[in-house]
Amino acid sequence: MTEQQDWREETREIITSLLEDGSNPEVEYTIEHHFSGQDFNRLEKAAVDCFKAEFEVTDAEELTLERGQTLLCFDAIKEGPLNEEAIMRR
């Protein structure tokens, strides 16, 4: 399974769980995408691309893992439907 397929499957499972718990499929929700990595330039490009796609982009933060690795991370946030295709298209 490719990484894209993994993300699609996880998205499908989250949507299914939310709908089973009673979420209304007809309204828009706050959808958060979480990005992290060690390559600042690559992460910065992703943040700029998200901003250009009209996402709200949070400030980058540094996260130190238990083994001492440092990750940079940010969130991209946008309102949208609980629809797999719409979420994956973003």
- pLDDT of 46 > 80? The answer is yes
For 21-38, what is the mean pLDDT?
Answer: 93
Q: Give me the pLDDT at residue 90, please.
A: 64
Q: Domain boundaries in the chain?
A: 3-89
Phi-psi region of 68 (alpha: psi -120 to 50; beta: other; left: phi over 0): left
72: which 2 tokens?
């940079």
Could you tell me the fold of the domain covering 3-89?
A: Alpha-Beta Plaits (3.30.70)
Residues in Cβ contact with 49 at an 8 Å cutoff, skipping those fewer than 6 apart: none
**Which tens digit of pLDDT belongs to each residue from 51-90?**
999 999 999 999 999 999 999 999 999 999 998 888 887 6
For 34-50, what is the mean pLDDT?
Answer: 94
